[in-house]
Amino acid sequence: SGNARTRQLFPGSPELFHALHEGASGSHEGNPINYVTSSPFNLHSLLQLIFQENKVPMGPFFMTDWGIDADKWFKISHRDHKINSLEEAIKWHPDKPVILLGDSGEHDTAIYVEAALMHPHLIDLILIRDVTSRERLERLNEEVTKLEETGTRFAFFRDSTEAAIVLHERGWISSEQLKEVTEAVERSF
**% of the chain with per-residue pLDDT over 90:** 65
Q: Given this model, what pLDDT does residue 3 score?
A: 66
Burial class (CB in 10 A: 0-12, 13-18, 19+), 156: buried
Positive or negative, the Cα torsion across 140, 185, 7, 61?
negative
Average pLDDT over residues 160-172: 97
The more confident residue out of 9 and 157 is: 157
Taking the whole predicted model, whether its pTM rises above 0.85 is answered as yes
User: What is the arithmetic mean of pLDDT over 165-189?
Assistant: 96
Distance between CA atoms of residues 57 and 103, nearest Å: 19
| pLDDT value at 47 more than 60 | yes
Residue 156: which of 183, 186, 184, 126 has the closest Cα?
126
Query: Is the pLDDT assigned to residue 2 strictly greater than 70?
Result: no
Q: Among 79, 91, 94, 81, which Cα is nearest to 143's?
A: 79
Beta-carbon neighbour count of residue 171 at 10 Å? Answer: 10
Across the range 39-58, mean pLDDT stands at 90
Name the residue among 129, 133, 141 with its Cα closest to residue 103: 129
pLDDT, residue 133, reads 80
Read off the pLDDT band of 177 (50, 70, 90): very high
